Every structure is written in C-alpha cells, then in structure tokens.
Structure 1
C-alpha cells in the first residue's frame, strides 16, 4: 500500500539522500539528484519551511516532490526547492502509480502550488492536470517563453556543421577570425577537484559578473543566495567528479567561461559569461561553438543548454522542449484570497516590466547579442 508523508525536518530530509539518488538514476539528469536540492535548500531555505512529499511502499521510497513552503504577503504556497535557479522542475517517481499517489497527496495538502517550469509533454504534467481536474479549484498552465534547448550528438562533427545554416557558419567563422586577431585563442576544459574548485569557481564567477549582468544585478556575485547555491553545488559536483569548467582563453586572458556538469555522457550548462573587452566578437558564442565541437570530438551524447531557449542558440540546429508554469489554487477562502493577490501582483509586475527602460535594454541584450 502506498503512503504519502510530508518531510519538514532538515535531518529527515538529509536522510533521504540514498533513496533519493536511487530514484534519480531513472532520470539521468543532475536536476533530479539530491545534491542539487540540498544546495537549493541551504541557499534559499531561510524564512521558508521544508515540505518534501514522499511516497513509500512500506520502507521503499517510490516518489519524491522536493517542495518547500514560502509566504507571499502572508499567503502560503508550495514551490520547488531551488526555484530561484529557473531550471526545469524535477519530480521523482518510480512509475505512474507512485506519481499519481504523489500528485494526489500534494492536492490533498490544500495549499496553492506554484511550479514554474514543468515539461509540457511529460508524465508529471499529465498527472498534475489529472489530479487537479478531480478537484475544485483554479488550475493554470502558462507556456510563455519557457522552452529549453538541447543538441544531440548523432553524427560526425562535419555533418553537424553542414546542418547549420550558411549564414551561421559564415558568422561563426568571422567571429573566430576576429578573436584570433586579438591573440592566440584556445579552449581549456577543467574538471576541478575539491582542493582547487573554490578558486576556479571564483575565477568563473568574476568573469560572469564583469559585464552587463553585473550592472543589472543578475550575476552570481550580485546575489548572496545565488552565489551560495552555485558555490555549494559546484563543490558537490567537483566531489562527484562531474563538474566541468569550459574556459576560452585569448593569450593569457580569460575571455569567456561556462560552468557545467557532465552526467550520463551529456553536458549540462549551468552558467555562461564573458569579458566585455572582447564583446565585438561575441566570446560567449565562440565558446559555445568550441564547447559543442569538444562534445562531438570527445564522444559525448549531447549538450543541454538548460535555462530558457534563447535566440542566440539558433546558430546551431537545436531541439527544443516546451515547459509551462503551472498554478493551482484549492477551493478555500484563504486560497482564493491568495489567487486574487497573485493576480494583481502579476499584473503590476508586467506593467512595470513593460515600461521599464532598463528591463527593455536587458531583454534586448539577453536575447539578441551574447549569451548570459
């Protein structure tokens, strides 16, 4: 018989690690592993309460929803641990039966649920829709701008390059020639160990924060919680031997950086940044091209960009997968009050974003020049 418990004690949460990662192996992504959520709770848990839903069959863990409770103007809601990273949300389950027990258990908790990035064509989305459809209360899914992009390695590098548009090939050759006029260009791929990881991550973070992201307050070093998350997760990834830092050098100057992890023969990008003194030749784009080439030449099976699919990624023949933000409000006075508050808050933020010159400049730069 399947039972559903809510784990709110940090010690009980930590005790789930082995069972958690056994389930995570089924999904073959770093975003499902315990280390990701442990770093997320340590970085973002202040002022919040753990509410991790666990489905068990006797002593065996069959499903996990890594959630926590936050309060917005006094109204509680369930969100994914590590929501601030804006990565696709992960729910773990052994099979459809345990997933159904999990989503129904979440609905019975009668607290509004916010999940910002659930893959549209997934068992999780279908189970959430089914569980909410059996109950009274508003359910919303908003697919706006929440796709994620990937590249699959299924052919030789030369054939992959041929599938790029002629314009993209020409643009990348031109950018590389411009880069080479600045000095000797080389890609270095580093797999830090625990002794070196802190210094190497700091080097990456400093480059990432040195440009427009630092000025706009969106860099890792601009936010103590984000900094703590990527520092702690980076150390955990280094301990596991999966952390990869891709460094694009021009002579002895670091022009662009990428923080990633290699899991199940796939590279998963976490952060990218560049030195603005080289902006005229888009070092982030050149780094990405050389990273993709490296993946092909070293036998990887794919590259996951994570984050949100962006315009600049169209230089390469990427595949995209749509995600939706979902909101569920159980039928109760407090929940409907929360819905009213959230609706007005969303409207106010959209109006502010629409009329903010800084936001317009940020979006234009993010989408149409170099990667963030």
Structure 2
C-alpha cells in the first residue's frame, strides 16, 4: 500500500479516478468531481493536498486534506461541503489506510482528522488504541419508497392540517401558488442570483453570511449547479405567491438520491404562511414519482425536519493519532472540558 501526495491544484488531472472511486464506493453526488472541483476553485487556499493510495496498481483510497494547525491535518471541509472528502473501497480496512496516510503527510503530524462522516455511507468504526470517533450532528433523510400518498398520510395531523389551512386561506385571498423547477445550465446564473436576493433579505444578509451572485458562495453554487445540470442532475425549485418569489431550494442528484443543499424563504411573508413547507409538499410529491430512493438534508436536524421524517442518524468525526498515548491524553482532556 503506497500513499502519494500532490498539491490539490492538480485535482483536475485526477478526476477520472476520483469519480471512478466514488462510483465504486459511496456514489454520493456531494463527492462527485462536479461538486468537489468548484469547492477547491472557490474555497481552496493553495495549501490543500490530494492524497492517493494504491495497492497492486489499484486505487483504493483518495482524500483531500488541509493543514489544521501545528501537527494536525484533516479532511478539507469548507462550509458548503456537508460530507468528508474521503473515498475508499469498501473492502479496504480503514485503520491501516489512516496509519499509512498519517506517516506520509509532511511535518511529522500527530493527528489526522476525518470530519463529517456519514454512517449511511461508511459505518462508524470502532474505537482503537490510536483511533477515536466523536459525534458531529444528527441529520435527517426521507426514504422515497411506498408512494407519496402513503408517505403523506403518515405525516403528523398537525402538518397536514396546517398546510391545508394555509392553502385554503391563500385561495380565499386570491393568491395563486406556483412551483417552478429549473434544470437547464443556462438558467443557473439567474437562479443563484434569485436565491442570493432572497437569502440576503433575511437574517443571513444581516450577518453577512448570505449567498450573493458576486461572492465566493454564489460563484461556487453557480459553477457547481451548471456542471450538474449539464448532465440532468441539478435542479432549483422556486415557489411563488402570485408574482412574488417566496421560497427556493438548491438541489443535486446522484444515481439514486437527491440532496437539498440550500433553502431560503421570504422572511417578510405573513407569519400565517410557511412558504418552504408549502413548496416541499408539492416538490416531494414529484420526487416520489421519479423513482429515486432517498432525499438527504445533511443539515443539523431542526424541528421542521421532524415534521417530514423520523429517519435521523448521527454523523461523526474520526481522529487518528500517531501514538496511543496521544489518543489517551486527548480523550482525557476532552472529558474535562
């Protein structure tokens, strides 16, 4: 087993085998090069490394890594990426891979971290003398099976009654609702600009964290969505009250799943209405009809997620230490904080 390190600026020349490894392992759209390459372009610092492991001429693992301070390397994890950028074939034990990579990294690192791992894609490993896992967040998914009518009937009475009440009120007030789906590459610039205006008008705009067509986030989402849409795997959902845009979702698809990346809604809408919930009632019906297997949220579970699903799992981090004593000291220190 041999690890090779190269600057992440060379990632483009390794895209074919990155995508091949993704397809052979987790098959996640968030680990497809169409998602990863724009992350590097817009959020990389130039210090990231692409790590490639081969055994007998076969690529068995790849990762994107970044330095995290003295003696520490970790998976490259910009805020726009919900998942750990690590890929490995299912039949390759994790601990020897991490041990080899830790020893191959420059600067005699003491700790290698893999952050935001999904147990749905890679089962949480057991603790070891040099390996420790930590809870990250609970996240939710929806299994898109059994038909929408059965799924909707299983939702809580409060959700169903509340949305019916909202629709009746909108009808009485003469407000027509409309779901608009956009999936052409040439539509993504306008879609991201619309999303940015919607998000910038809310609390994220006040904090300076909103997507905007001209900031790094906006440029990333545009480039990434255009790449997915060129192969029919990207979609932006807009929801309208009459001619007023009130909610949006940015989504990408994999072979059998769809991921809701970002959601924004008009926070000035009358509090009697929940534009994002109304949008999802309609858009989820369409997803059930598509034959996909699952819908992923990947954000921290919020009360509104639990109105749509009871499928919740805990994502996790992995710490791998150069020596067992370091693991013991780190665990002891963490338990006292």
- TM-score range normalised by the length of the shorter chain: 0.7 to 0.9
Check 1:284–1:9 CA distance in 2 against 1; reply closer, same or farther (3 A cut). closer
Is 1:288 the equivalent of 2:280? yes
Shift of 1:148: 1.7
Once the two structures are TM-superposed, the CA of residue 260 in structure 1 deviates from its matched residue by 0.2
What is the CA deviation profile of residues 130-168 of structure 1, one whole-angstrom value per residue up to 9, with x for unaligned ones? 6xx344xxx553325x12211112212221111111122
Q: Which 5+ residue runs of structure 1 have no aligned equivalent?
A: 348-372
Partner of 1:93: 88
Asked if residue 208 in structure 1 is aligned to residue 199 in structure 2, the reply is yes
The equivalent of 2:166 in structure 1 is 175
Q: Distance in 1 between matches of 2:322 and 2:138?
A: 27
Is 1:18 paired with 2:10?
A: no
CA RMSD of aligned residues (A): 3.1
Does the C-alpha gap of structure 1 residues 270 and 104 become closer, same or farther in structure 2, counting only changes over 3 Å? Answer: same
Deviation, 1:9, is: 5.2
Specify the alignment match of 1:220 in structure 2.
211
SS at match of 2:230: helix
Distance 2:90 2:291 in 1: 31
Find the counterpart in structure 2 of residue 113 from structure 1: 112
Report matched runs for 1:207-356 at 5 Å.
207-221=198-212, 224-280=215-271, 281-331=273-323
Does the C-alpha gap of structure 1 residues 321 and 279 become closer, same or farther in structure 2, counting only changes over 3 Å? farther
Indicate if the aligned counterparts of 1:49 and 1:70 stay in contact, CA closer than 8 A.
Answer: no
- Aligned residue for 1:31? 30
Matching of residue 197 in structure 1 with residue 188 in structure 2: yes
Q: Deviations over 1:246-293 (max 9, x none)?
A: 111111221100000122242211101011232511211221222212
Q: Which residue of 1 aligns with 2:48?
A: 50
Q: Gaps (5+ residues) in structure 2?
A: none
Q: TM-score, normalised to structure 1's length?
A: 0.77
When normalised by structure 2's length, the TM-score is 0.85
Answer with 300-309 or 106-115: which moved more.
106-115
Contact 2:116/2:316 (<8 A) preserved: yes
Q: 1:245: how far off?
A: 0.5
Residues 122 and 155 from structure 1, CA distance in 2 versus in 1: closer, same or farther, beyond 3 angstroms?
closer
CA deviations 1:176-228 (Å, max 9, x no partner) are: 334443610011111122x3321222112221222122123332239933333
Aligned length: 327
